[in-house]
Structure 1
Amino acid sequence: MTNTILNVKQLQKEYTGEITYKALKGIDFHLVEKEFVAVMGPSGSGKTTFLNCISTIDRPSNGSIIINSKDPYKLNDDELARFRRTELGFVFQDFNLVHTLTVEENILLPLTLDSVTEKDMNQSLEKVAAFLGIEEILKKRTFEISGGQKQRVAIARAVIHNPKLLLADEPTGNLDSKSVNSVMMLFESINKTFNTAILMVTHDAYVASFAERVIFIQDGILYNEIHRGKNKQLFYQEIMDTLTFLGGGQHEF
Structure 2
Amino acid sequence: MSDIILNVQQLHKDYVGEVNYKALKGIDFQLKRNEFVSVMGPSGSGKTTFLNCISTIDRPTNGSITINQKNPYELNDEDLAKFRRSELGFVFQDFNLVHTLTVEENILLPLTLDAVNAKEMTSRLAEVVEFLGIEEIMKKRTFEISGGQKQRVAIARAVIHQPSLLLADEPTGNLDSKAANSVMTLFQSIHETFQTSLLMVTHDPYVASFAERVIFMQDGMLYNEIQRGDHKKQFYQEIVDTLTFLGGGYHEL
Q: Give TM class, smaller chain.
A: over 0.9
TM-score, with structure 2 as normaliser:
0.99
What is the Cα deviation at residue 21 of structure 1?
A: 0.6
2:153 alignment partner, SS class: helix
2:205 maps to 1:216: no
1:81-119 CA distances to partner (integer Å, 9 max, x unpaired)?
Answer: 111111000000000000000000000000000000011
Measure the CA separation in 2 of the matches of 1:20 and 1:99. 37
Give me the whole-angstrom Cα distance separating, in 1, the residues matched to 2:60 and 2:80: 15
Alignment of 1:114-129 (within 5 A): 114-129=114-129
Question: What is the alpha-carbon distance in structure 2 between the residues aligned to residue 58 and residue 96 of structure 1?
Answer: 18
Q: Report the equivalent of 1:206.
A: 206
Change (3 A) 1:203 1:85: same
RMSD: 0.8
1:148 and 2:148 matched: yes
Deviation at 1:20, TM superposition (A): 1.3
Map of 1:70-219 to 2, 5 A cutoff?
A: 70-219=70-219
- Give the counterpart letter for 1:20 in structure 2: N
Q: CA deviation at 1:250?
A: 2.0
2:5 maps to 5
Counterparts of 1:248 and 1:123, CA distance in 2:
49
Alpha-carbon separation, structure 2, partners of 1:125 and 1:25 = 41
How far does residue 249 in structure 1 lie from its aligned partner after superposition? 1.6
Q: Which residue of 2 aligns with 1:227?
A: 227
Question: Can you list the C-alpha shifts for 1:169-217, whole angstroms capped at 9, x where unaligned?
Answer: 0000000110000000000000000000000000000000000000000
Q: Distance in 2 between matches of 1:61 and 1:191?
A: 31
CA distance in 1, matches of 2:236, 2:52: 26
Aligned AA (1:13): K
1:59 and 2:59 matched: yes
For 2:226, give the aligned amino acid: I
SS in 1 for 2:154: helix
Shift of residue 2, structure 1, vs aligned partner: 6.0
Q: Deviations over 1:139-169 (max 9, x none)?
A: 1110110000000000000000110000000
Unaligned runs of 5+ in 2: none
- 1:29 aligns with 29
Q: Which amino acid aligns with 1:55?
A: S
Residue 19 (structure 1) shift: 1.8
Q: Amino acid of the residue matched to residue 96 of structure 2?
A: N
Cα deviations by residue, 1:41-62 (Å, 9 ceiling, x for unpaired): 0000000000000000000000
Distance 1:193 1:248 in 2: 37
* Superposed CA offset, 1:213-240 (max 9, x none): 0000000010000000000000000000
Give the secondary-structure state (helix, strand or coil) at the position aligned to 1:168: strand
CA distance in structure 1 between the aligned counterparts of 2:17 and 2:96, rounded to whole angstroms: 29
Say which SS state the counterpart of residue 13 (structure 2) adopts.
Answer: strand
User: What is the aligned-residue identity percentage?
Assistant: 77
Matched length: 253
**SS of 2:49 mapped into structure 1:** helix
Which 4+ stretches in 1 moved above 3 angstroms? none
> Structure 2 counterpart of 1:159, which letter?
V
Counterpart AA for 2:48:
T
Deviations 1:24-57 (A, max 9, x none): 0000000011100000000000000000000000
Q: Distance in 2 between matches of 1:80 and 1:96?
A: 20
- The one-letter code sitting in structure 1 at the alignment partner of 2:77 is D
What letter corresponds to residue 58 of structure 1 in structure 2? Answer: D
